[in-house]
Amino acid sequence: MLAGFVDYLKIEKGLARLSVEAYVRDLKQFSDFLQQQKPARVLLRARRQQVRDFLDRLFSQQADGRSVARKLSALRQFYKYLLLDRMIEHDPTLNIDTPRQWKVLPKALSRAETESLLTSKAAPVGGPCHTNPFRRAIAARDRAMLEMLYAGALRVSEAVGVGLNDLKIEQGCVLVRGKGDKERIVPLGRAAVEALQQYLAGPRSVLAGPRSSPLLFIARGARRLTRQRVWQMVRAASQASGRAASPHMLRHSCATHMVENGADLRTVQTILGHADISTTQVYTHVAIDRLKTVFMQHHPRAKRRS
C-alpha cells in the first residue's frame, strides 16, 4: 500500500525524493498513533476524530503550525490516493481545517544584510584562497551562485540543477526547473550576470579539469554540487552580515525586497514559481511589518503619547 502511494507521489504529483520521504515518515507517525488507540486502528480504518486527535497531540507536543500543516497534507494526499484506488469509501481528512500557518512569516535579510553577504570576502569552505587556483575558482563559483540565488530567488535544488544550456547570459536570464519539473524563465540582474561571466571565463574550467559536466555549477573534478555544500557556502558568507543565513533566506529576501520596491504580486509569483498567488501574498505581510518597524524607529511623532 505504501509502495503504491510512493509511486503515486513521484509519478502523479512529481514530488522530489526528500518530499516523498517526509510524507512517508508522517504517515508512519500517524500509523503509530493509531496503534496506541483503544481499540487500535490501522490506516485504512482511521476516522476523522482520530485525525483531529492526532493533530491535537502534535500541538500539545509544541509542534509549530507549519509542521502540523505538512503532516495533514501528507494524510490528505494518502487518503486521496486510497479513494482513487477504491481502497476506502470515506476520507477521514475531509472538513478538517488546515492549521493557520500564515502566521509563520518567512525569514528575510534586510537590504544591508544582503549586501554585506553578497560582497563578503569570506574564504570558500576548506580554507583561504592564497595562490591556490582551485581556491580562487571555488571563490568565483560561490560568488556567482550567491548572486544567482538572490537575483532569481532560486531554491537550492534549482540552483544546483541549472545546466550550462539553461543559462542565457546574453539575454540576462536563466531557465529554471522547479517543483514538479515545471520550467520558468527567471531574469538576472547586472551583478549576477557579471559574476557568472567571471566564473565562466576561467574558474569553471579549472574546477572541471579534463572532465566535462552539463551543469553550470560544479565541484572539483566536474562533480555535482550537493545541497549541503551550498548551505555551508551561504552560512560562511553570511558571517560578514552578523546573521546566520540560509539559501532559502536569500529566496525570501529577493521576494520581500521586490515587494518593498513596488513589484506587483503576479510578477513575484512568476519569478518564484508559485502555483498559487496566495503563497506569494505572505510577502506583503513581511513588507508591511518591516515598513511599520522603520516607521516606528524614524518618524518623529511615531512614539509620541498624548
**Does residue 70 share a domain with residue 9?**
yes
Q: Does any domain span residue 306?
A: no
Q: Does any domain span residue 305?
A: no
- State the pLDDT at residue 253: 93
**Does residue 133 share a domain with residue 73?**
no
Q: Mean pLDDT across the stretch 113-121?
A: 88
pLDDT range class, residue 68, cuts 50, 70, 90: confident
* Owner of C-alpha cell 524614524: 298
Neighbours of 88 (CB within 10 A): 15
| Residue whose C-alpha is closest to residue 134's, from 209, 211, 69 | 209
The catalytic site residues sit at: 155, 179, 248, 251, 274, 283
Can you give the CATH number for the domain in which 76 is found? 1.10.150.130
Q: Does any domain span residue 300?
A: no
Domain boundary among 101, 134, 162: 101
Domain boundary among 78, 101, 124: 101
Number of independent structural domains in the chain: 2
**Does residue 122 share a domain with residue 93?**
no
**Does residue 255 share a domain with residue 136?**
yes
- State the pLDDT at residue 176: 94
Q: What is the domain range of residue 53?
A: 2-101
Evaluated on CA atoms 22, 25, 29, 30, the torsion sign reads positive
pLDDT range class, residue 131, cuts 50, 70, 90: low
**Does residue 252 share a domain with residue 215?**
yes
The Cα–Cα gap between 115 and 294 comes to 18
- State the pLDDT at residue 158: 94
**Does residue 219 share a domain with residue 140?**
yes
| Residue whose C-alpha is closest to residue 251's, from 142, 107, 143, 126 | 107
Would you state the cell numbers that stand for residue 299, as one nine-digit string? 518618524
Domain boundary among 50, 71, 101: 101
pLDDT tens profile 248-269: 999 999 999 998 888 888 999 9
Q: Does any domain span residue 256?
A: yes
**Does residue 70 share a domain with residue 6?**
yes
**Does residue 224 share a domain with residue 172?**
yes
Can you give the CATH number for the domain in which 250 is found? 1.10.443.10
**Does residue 243 share a domain with residue 96?**
no
**Does residue 71 share a domain with residue 161?**
no
Q: Does any domain span residue 106?
A: no
Whole-number mean pLDDT of the chain?
Answer: 85
Burial of 216 per CB tally in 10 Å (0-12, 13-18, 19+)? buried
- State the pLDDT at residue 15: 73
Q: Does any domain span residue 301?
A: no
The Cα–Cα gap between 94 and 277 comes to 24
**Does residue 56 share a domain with residue 118?**
no
